[in-house]
Chain A
Amino acid sequence: MGFRHTLRNLMRVRLAKFAAVVLGVTLVAAVFAPWLAPHDPTKAKPWDSLRPPSATYWLGADRLGRDQLSRLIYGARVSLLIGVGGVGIAVLLGMSIGVTAGWYRGVCDELLMRVMDGLSAFPALLLALSLVAIVGGTVLNIILVVGIVGTPWVARVIRSQVLSLREREFIVAVRGLGAKPGRIMLKHLLPNCLAPVIVQASLAVAAAILLEAALSFLGVGVKPPTPTWGGMLRHAFETVSQAPWLTVSPGVMIFLVVLAFNFFGDALRDVLDPKLRGTR
């Protein structure tokens, strides 16, 4: 029993370590892309079209002769930006809506929650697809779209937290002391609401990255020439018989990063929410 238990613990720690390594590498790649990438990711060298992996092109070259590795490195920017940014926007919007609904209750609450219900009734990918088709495919727009898609979930979590918190003694006390609602929300409610959101945030980033990849794969992601992992897969699928190696690296990257965020999220949950420990 002892050995097996330790093994489990070890594995758990190792998984978290693995996650940290992957995320660290990705972050470094995203931030230091211009220095790390061996070639210009957007410069087309058509005579090198579809070259297999070699000394010059470690992961091969794509249809226009652009270095796959460099594009992979720059692609990390888009994925991380949209993943983290999207969740950030969702948290911001969701918090405002959730706190307002939970605090004021009544008609305001009903209305806001109905809208949130309506929004979350749409399948995420279809909603995102339609929104991007409207607003166009720039990084900022897609961050906003991903954020909007994720807002209902955050709003609901925050709202239920607020509902349970508002009757607690310290809130009643502060209210009795005449503090203004805005101040109460900011100083007292929010800090206590955030825990469940943060616990889930990492998993949310993973979902956001998958969403962005799916959008790019379908051709409605960030406009070229910005490299995105999903977009790279889209082009790679076209030439899968001439250059099958091109389909591997972007898919593996998406998989690893999403996996890492999942592990990270699990570890975070273990740390922040001991009640849930043991359900692993």
Chain B
Amino acid sequence: MQKYFVRRLLNMIPTLLLVSLGVFALVRWLPSDPARLLAGVDESGAVDPVLYAKIKKDLGFDQPVLVQYISWLGGIVSGNWGKSYLSGMEVFPQIVHRLHFTVQLGLVSWLLGVIVGISLGTVSAVRRNSPIDIAVTTFAISGVAIPHFWLGMMLIVVFAVWLGWLPYGGFNASLFTSPLLWMQQMLLPTFVLGTGLAAILMRQTRAALLEVFREPYVLTARAKGLKESRVIWGHAMKNSLLPVVTIASLQFGTLIGGTVVTETVFTLPGVGKFIIDAVLRRDYLVVQMGLLVLTVAVMLSNFVADVLYTYLDPRIRYD
């Protein structure tokens, strides 16, 4: 099995290279001129041609594209990610700082989604066709259809503006030093992000459990007179959890990708918003590095999910 994982990991490398090439090309094709941006134009100012030429030279834009690509790759590996064209600040520490937040947000949302999704899905399967089941099913169906940004908007209007119970957005708390504030600020964003995942998991859990309930061994257990809760927890859950866990772990990558819109609506200091702001402002270097980092993060989390899945499922053996 180790060989399988090593091979999988190695297989990621050409994909990573392709991704880096893609990111590089993408950013080069973006319209407008970063050298000009750096040389600076205010609302009615001029562009100094000498400064412009100097900046172009400093950024290496006068060299052939391939050379630029290779030196960029080299820079990434050596930790020199360059400086933002707009702010002049080092890109690496900024992205790391924001990645820290995005991962935090992603993890908490994921946990919330998993817990709520699986537990409600279980309840819904156990109490089939009851009002709870119908409510949960409705939520599950709507949860995947509702646009995240709209949900976020509506929640802000209700809870932050009309009721004033929760903050409008923004984030400056630390889990360890100010847990209450942290919870307040995290509540709405994690709810929005977790909804999609919870909805999917609810359906999956419910479906998987229902299927398992029809299995002979469950009927046997019930016939033996075992308590319902033991039936569920002792037998059914263990076997039905596998596809659910698979999906849940695969969804983590999607969740990270989905933080982009949530961070924008709630003005959160994450990588997603950082990238979007950079695209809209044409801060190319940030776009490049941010896209690369986020994509690699998603790829890695998918890989970890794969590992988990393979580890958990005794039926799967790869050689």
Contact = CB atoms under 8 A, between A and B. Distances in A.
| A–B direct touch in complex (beta carbons closer than 8 A) | yes
Interface stretch (B59-67, B77-85, B108-116, B148-156): B148-156
B291 to A, nearest CB: 6
A259 B157 contact: no
A233 B30 contact: no
A228 B154 CA distance: 19
Interface stretch (B33-41, B43-51, B178-186, B293-301): B293-301
Which size bracket describes the interface of A in this complex? 35 or more
B285 to A, nearest CB: 14
B14 to A, nearest CB: 6
A206 B295 contact: no
Interface residues of B, number: 45
Interface stretch (B138-146, B216-224, B231-239): B138-146
A280 B207 contact: yes
A131 B153 contact: no
Contacts of B144: 262
Contact of A213 (B30, B128, B147): B147
B260 A126 contact: yes
B287 interface: yes
Interface string A88-124: 0000000000000000000000000011011101111
A262 B145 contact: yes
B22 interface: yes
A134 interface: yes
Contacts of A130: 26-27, 30, 279, 287, 291
Contacts of A218: 261, 264, 276, 280
B129 interface: yes
B21 to A, nearest CB: 8
Contact of B276 (A129, A250, A254, A279): A129
B261 A244 contact: no
Interface in B261-316: 261, 264, 272, 275-276, 279-280, 287, 291, 294-295, 298-299
Contacts of B258: 123, 125
Contacts of B27: 130
Contact of A240 (B157, B207, B211): B157
Contact of B280 (A126, A220, A255): A220
Given A7-B129, A247-B157, A122 B291 contact: yes
Given A118-B15, A129-B276, A218-B276, A134 B154 contact: no
A130 B298 CA distance: 17
19 contacts: A4-B128, A4-B129, A7-B129, A121-B298, A121-B299, A123-B256, A130-B30, A133-B279, A210-B147, A214-B261, A218-B276, A233-B150, A240-B153, A244-B157, A247-B150, A247-B157, A254-B150, A255-B142, A279-B211
Interface of A: 4, 7-8, 114-115, 117-119, 121-126, 129-131, 133-134, 206, 210, 213-214, 217-220, 230, 233, 237, 240-241, 244, 247, 250-251, 254-255, 258-259, 262-263, 278-280
A-B CB proximity, top 9 nearest: A123-B257, A118-B18, A251-B150, A259-B145, A258-B145, A279-B207, A117-B15, A134-B29, A118-B19
Interface of B: 14-15, 18-19, 22, 26-27, 29-31, 128-129, 141-142, 144-150, 153-154, 157, 161, 207, 211, 254, 256-258, 260-261, 264, 272, 275-276, 279-280, 287, 291, 294-295, 298-299
